[in-house]
A and B are shown apart, each in its own frame.
Chain A
Amino acid sequence: MLSRAIIAAVFACELALVALSFNLGYRVIGFANFAHVEFVTVGAFIALTAADYLPLPAAALTGAVVAGLLAVVLNVSIFQKLREASVGTKMIASAGVAVGLRGVVQFVWGVDPRRFAQPTRLFAIDGAQMSLIQSVVIVTAIVSVVVFSLLLKFTRIGRNVRAVADNLTLAEARGVPTGQVLNQVWFISGAMAGLAGVLVGLDTFVRPELGISLLVPMFAAAIVGGAGSPFGAILGAALVSTASTAVVSIDFGEIFGGNSFYLGSEYKSIVAFSVLIMILAIRPSGFFGEQRGRA
C-alpha cells in the first residue's frame, strides 16, 4: 500500500512540474502549447548527454537551461511572429513545432530508450522500498515549486509576469517591457519542463516519446486544476496521479470474489482522461479556472 503511494507521489511530482509550467505558459502566452511536452524530452536527452562529462546535478541543470533556451528561441523565431494570429492558429503551429522537434530528437539521439548511469540505492520506509532517485524526484519537485512561487511573488520578474498575465496591453502602457517578460516566461516554463524531463528520465527511461506520453496526463492535470491556474495544476496532477495509480492497485478479484485480478498499467492514461471528462462535465472550466461567458 505504502509502496503504491510512493509511486503515486513520484508521478504526481513529475506531472505537477510539467502541468504547472504548461499552465504558466497558457496563462501568460494565451494558448495551449502542444510543443511544451517536447521541452520535457529535450531536457532529458541534453542532461543524459551532459551526464557523460558533468556530475549529475550539473547535468540536470544543463538539461533544464537548454530546454529553457530552446523555448525562448522558438518564441523569438516563430511564436512572436504569430502574435496577431488567432489562438487556433497558434495551437496548430505549436503542434507542427512539436512533431518537428520530436523528429529532430530522434535524428540526433536515435529511437532507442536509454538510461542514466546512476546508483540504484534503495532504502526501506515502514517495510516499503523507496529508491534514492524517487526521493530526489520528490524533493527536487517540491523545491522547484517553492522557488517558482517565491519568484512569482517577491521578485521584479515575478511582478512583471503577473502584470502581463493580467493585462498585456495595460502592462505595456505602464512601461513593462512585455517582449522581455514573455521571453522570461518562455524560459521559466521551458526550463521547468526540461527539469521534469530529467526527473522522469532518472526515474524511468529517456526516449523520444517521453514528452508525448505525458501530453494527455498533462492536459488532464492542467485542465482539471483550471487551465491557466498554476497552483490548480498541482492539485490536478495529484488527482490524476492518485486516480490512475489507485485503479491499477485495486484487486478487483477480491472485491467481486474470485481470482486476484488487476488492471494493467496501460489503464493509467484511460483513467486520467476519464477523470478529466467527468470533472469537465460538472465544471466546464476546471476547479480554479475563471468562468467565462459562453455562447
Chain B
Amino acid sequence: MTGVLVEALTLAAIYAVLTLSLNLQYGLTGLLNFGVSFFFAVGGYAVGVVHFHHWSPWIGIVAAPVAGAIAGILLAIPTKRLDDHYWALMTLGVAALFLAIMNNNPRIAGGDLGTYGILRIEPARLLPILAGVIAVVVVAFERIRRSQFGRVIRVAREDPILLAAIGRDLFRFRLSVLMIGGAVAAVGGVALAYWLTIVAPPVFSLDQTVIVWAMMIVGGRGNNYGSLVGALLLEAIFIGTRFLPDFGGLLTGTDYALLRILIVGASLVLVLMVRREGVVRESKVRYAPLD
C-alpha cells in the first residue's frame, strides 16, 4: 500500500516537472506546444543512448538538459516564421519525426524495441531528488514570472503584435522560453527513464503530451503552483481507479489503462468547459508603484 503510494507520488513528481515546463511555454508565454513529448523524449533518450552504448550514466544525466535546450533551438528555428496554428501543428510533427527516427534506427538506442534494463533509482532516492528539482524550478520560474522577462513573455502571450510594436523581437523570447522549457522537460525525461528503466518510442507518445496538457490545464494555466496541483490531482485520480472494485473480473488490466486515458480526456474537456482557469487561478504580479 505505502509502496504503491510512493511510486504514484514519484510519478506525480516526474509529471510535475514536465507540467511546469509546459506551463512556462503555454501558461506564461502562450506557446501551443503539442510536442512537449519531444523535449522529454530528448532527455529520456540521452539516458537511453548512453545506456545502449554502455557509456558512463553520468554522461547522459549531464547531457540531457543541454540536449533539451538544443531541442528547444531546433524547434524554434524552422518554426520561426509560422503563426499560432501552424506553429502548434508543427511542434506535434517535430515530436513525431523524432520518435520515427528513433524507431527506425536500431543503432541509436535499440529502435522500436528501445533499450531496457537501465539501473532503477528507487523512489526512496528518486523522490527527494525530484523534490529538489521541483523546488529549484518553481523558485526560478517564479522569479522569471516577476521579472521584466516575465512581463514581456506575458505580452507575447496576450498580443504578439503589441510586442513587435514596442520594439521587442518575438523570436528571441520564444527561443529563450523554448530553451529553458526544453532543458527542464529533459530533466523530467531523465527521471522517467530511471523510474521506468525503459527508453522506447511508446514511452514518449502523443498520449503523454496530452496527459501533461491535462495536468497543466486542470491545475491552472499560468500558475506554477497550479502545475503541481494538477499533476498531483490527476495522478491521485489515476491511482484511485486502481482501487476500484473490478466488478467480478469485468475490468481487465487493459481496461484500467483505457480508463486512465478516458480520465485524461474527460478531465481536460470538463475543466475547459466548466472552469477554464483551472483549479488554481493565475495570480496577478504586483510591482512596486512607479514614481
Q: Is B6 an interface residue (CB 8 A)?
A: no
Residues of B within 8 A of A103 (CB): 258-259, 261-262, 265
**What interface size band does chain A fall in?**
35 or more
CA separation between A31 and B268, bound complex, in Å? 17
Cβ contact of A266, chosen from B83, B92, B100, cutoff 8 A: B100
Q: Is the CB of A95 within 8 A of B268?
A: yes
Q: How far is the CA of A214 from the CA of B34 in the complex (A)?
A: 16
Tell me whether B32 and A295 are in contact (CB under 8 A): no
Name B258's contact: one of A31, A107, A220, A295 (CB within 8 Å): A107
Which chain B residue lies CB-closest to A212? B206
Could you tell me if B266 and A100 are in contact, using CB atoms closer than 8 angstroms? Answer: yes
What number of B residues sit within 8 Å (CB to CB) of A?
49
Q: Judge if A151 is at the interface, Cβ distance under 8 Å.
A: no
Residue contact A89 to B272, C-beta cutoff 8 Å = yes
Q: Which stretch of B46-54, B55-63, B128-136, B160-168 is in the interface? A: B160-168
Residues in chain B near residue A76, CB distance under 8 A: none
Q: Which residues of B contact A31 (CB under 8 A)?
A: 85
- B164: nearest chain-A partner, CB-CB: A295
Bound Cα distance from A91 to B104, whole angstroms: 30
Known interface pairs A78-B269, A100-B269, A295-B170; A106-B93 also in contact (CB < 8 Å): no
Who on chain A is nearest to B260 by CB?
A: A103
Residue of B nearest to A266 (CB): B104
Question: Do residues B83 and A219 form an inter-chain contact, with CB atoms below 8 A?
Answer: no
Asked whether B81 is an interface residue with its Cβ less than 8 Å from the other chain, the reply is: yes
B78 is an interface residue with CB less than 8 A from chain A: yes
Residues 241-266 of chain B, each 1 if its beta carbon lies under 8 Å from chain A, else 0: 00000000000001100110110111
- Contacts A32-B88, A95-B213, A295-B160 known; A270 to B261 CB distance under 8 Å? no
Mask, A176-196, CB within 8 Å of B = 1, is 000000000000000000000
Minimum CB–CB distance for B104 against chain A, Å:
5
Which residues from 158 to 183 on chain B have a C-beta closer than 8 Å to any C-beta of chain A? Answer: 160-161, 163-164, 170
Interface-centre pick from B101, B254, B268 (highest chain A CB count, 10 A): B268
State whether the Cβ of A288 lies closer than 8 Å to any Cβ in chain B. Answer: no
A223 to chain B minimum Cβ distance, whole angstroms, is 6
Which of A57-65, A79-87, A253-261 participates in binding chain B?
Answer: A79-87
Asked if A273 contacts B210 (CB within 8 A), the reply is no
Chain B residues with CB below 8 A from A264, complex form: 104
Of the residues B85, B210, B264, B276, contact of A89 by C-beta under 8 Å: B276
Report the nearest B residue to A81, measured CB to CB.
Answer: B273
Whether A99 contacts B261 by the Cβ 8 Å rule is yes
Residue of B nearest to A268 (CB): B100
Check if B84 sits within 8 Å of A88, measured CB to CB: yes
- Tell me which residues from 223 to 280 in chain A have a Cβ below 8 Å from any Cβ of chain B: 223, 227, 264, 266-267, 269-270, 273-274, 276-277, 280
**B89 beta carbon closer than 8 Å to chain A:** yes
Q: How far is the CA of A97 from the CA of B264 in the complex (A)?
A: 9
Distance in angstroms from B54 CB to nearest chain A CB is 27
Leading 9 A-B pairs by shortest Cβ distance: A100-B265, A96-B268, A295-B160, A103-B262, A295-B164, A284-B81, A99-B265, A103-B261, A295-B161
Q: Could you jot down 8 A-B contacts, CB within 8 Å?
A: A32-B85, A78-B273, A93-B269, A100-B262, A223-B89, A227-B85, A273-B97, A273-B100
Residues of A within 8 A of B (CB): 31-32, 78, 81-82, 85, 87-89, 91-93, 95-104, 106-107, 111, 212, 215-216, 219-220, 223, 227, 264, 266-267, 269-270, 273-274, 276-277, 280-281, 284-285, 292-295
B residues sitting closer than 8 Å to A (CB atoms) are 26, 30, 32, 34, 78, 81-86, 88-90, 92-94, 96-97, 100-101, 103-104, 160-161, 163-164, 170, 206-207, 210, 213-214, 217, 254-255, 258-259, 261-262, 264-269, 272-273, 276
* Contacts A93-B273, A103-B262 known; 8 new A-B pairs at CB < 8 A: A32-B85, A89-B276, A93-B272, A96-B272, A100-B262, A103-B261, A106-B258, A111-B254
